[in-house]
């Protein structure tokens, strides 16, 4: 599990390689990741948008931006949480994702919340010790 806290908003990420949706012979690798967003602050927030930087095993990075997450822009009250699961395909057996959510508080102030960098590793990763 990977975790980061920004302004009392705790982000926990749990990635999982999906062998049944991957085809290593065709360089198709797929992961699911579950994100738990916990509001440990004293203010209600709404998740408005997201930005991801997805880097594959050969260093190619793709940026993905969009409104909300999985079609929702959840309002999260103090002490509340929101969880969702999404996925990421890669052409390499490993990669890294990192990003941020843009939130807005009850006063209309926008702020960014860090999504911690997390590793996408399949059983097909060749590891070397330097």
How does pLDDT run across 13-29, given as a tens digit for each residue?
999 999 999 999 999 99
Q: What angle do CA 80, 96, 126 make, to 5 degrees?
A: 135
Q: What is the band of 125 on the pLDDT scale with cuts at 50, 70, 90?
A: confident
pLDDT of the residue at 129: 65
Contact 3, 12 (CB under 8 A): yes
User: Domain extents for the chain?
Assistant: 2-121
Instruction: Tell me the CA end-to-end span of the chain in Å, nearest whole number.
Output: 26
pTM of the model: 0.92
**Torsion sign, CA atoms 48, 112, 11, 124:** positive
- If one looks up domain 2-121 in CATH, what number appears? 2.60.40.1470
* Angle, vertex CA 86, rays to CA 78 and CA 61, nearest 5: 105
């Amino acid at each position: 599990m990977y975790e980061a806290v920004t302004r009392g908003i705790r982000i926990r990420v749990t990635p999982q390689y999906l062998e049944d949706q991957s085809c290593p012979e065709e360089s198709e690798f797929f992961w699911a990741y579950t994100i738990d967003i916990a509001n440990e602050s004293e203010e209600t927030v709404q998740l408005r948008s997201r930005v991801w930087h997805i880097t594959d095993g050969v260093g190619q990075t793709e940026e993905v931006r969009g409104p909300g997450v999985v079609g929702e822009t959840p309002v999260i009250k103090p002490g509340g949480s929101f969880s969702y699961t999404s996925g990421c395909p890669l052409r390499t057996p490993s990669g890294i994702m990192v990003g941020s959510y843009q939130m807005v508080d009850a006063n209309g102030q926008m702020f960014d919340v860090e999504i911690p960098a997390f590793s996408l590793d399949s059983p097909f990763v060749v590891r070397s010790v330097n």
